[in-house]
A = this chain, B = another copy of it.
Amino acid sequence: MGPVVAVVGGGQLARMMAEPAGALQIRLQALVEADDGATAQVVPRSVVGRADDAAAVSEISSGADVLTFEHEHVPQQVLQQLLDSGVNVQPGPGALKHAQDKIVMRQRLSELGVPCPRWRAATTVDGIAAAGSELGWPVVAKTPVGGYDGKGVAVLDSAQDAATVADWLDHPRGEVLLEEKVDFARELAVLIARRPSGQTAVWPVVETVQEGGVCSEVLAPAPGLPPHVADDAADVARTIAEGLDVTGVLAVEMFEARDGILLVNELAMRPHNSGHVTIDAAVTSQFEQHLRAVLDLPLGCPEMTAEVAVMANVLGSQLPDPSSAYPEVMRTYPEAKVHLYGKSVRPGRKLGHVTVTGADAAQARKRAQDAARMLRGE
Least CB separation from A321: chain B residue: B1
Q: Answer whether residue A88 sits at the interface, using C-beta atoms and an 8 A cutoff.
A: no
Chain B residues contacting A342 (CB-CB under 8 Å) are: 1-2, 25
Give the oligomeric copy count: 2
How many residues of A sit at the interface, in one of the four size bands? 35 or more
Q: Answer whether residue A62 sits at the interface, using C-beta atoms and an 8 A cutoff.
A: no
Stretch at the interface among A140-148, A160-168, A322-330: A322-330
CB under 8 Å from chain B, chain A span 341-369:
341-342, 344, 352, 357
Contacts A18-B42, A19-B19, A283-B335 given; indicate if A300 touches B330 (C-beta within 8 A): yes
How far is it, in angstroms, between the C-alpha of A286 and the C-alpha of B95 when the chains are bound?
Answer: 41
The listed residue (B25, B303, B344, B357) touching A1 by CB distance below 8 A is B344
Interface of A is mostly: loop
Least CB separation from A199: chain B residue: B331
CB <8 Å contact, B331 and A24 = no
- State the A residues within 8 Å of B (CB): 1-3, 15-16, 18-19, 21-25, 27, 40-44, 46, 279, 283-284, 292, 297-301, 303, 305-306, 321, 323, 326-327, 330-331, 334-335, 337-342, 344, 352, 357
20 A-B pairs, CB-CB below 8 angstroms? Answer: A2-B321, A2-B340, A2-B342, A18-B42, A19-B23, A22-B42, A23-B338, A24-B326, A24-B340, A25-B340, A25-B342, A27-B41, A40-B44, A44-B44, A283-B335, A292-B330, A298-B330, A298-B334, A301-B334, A305-B357
Beyond contacts A1-B323, A40-B44, A299-B330: 19 other A-B pairs, Cβ-Cβ < 8 A, are: A1-B344, A3-B323, A18-B42, A19-B23, A21-B42, A22-B41, A23-B338, A24-B323, A24-B326, A25-B352, A42-B42, A44-B46, A283-B335, A283-B337, A284-B334, A298-B334, A300-B335, A301-B334, A305-B357
Which 3 residue pairs spanning A and B have beta carbons closest together?
A298-B330, A25-B340, A298-B331
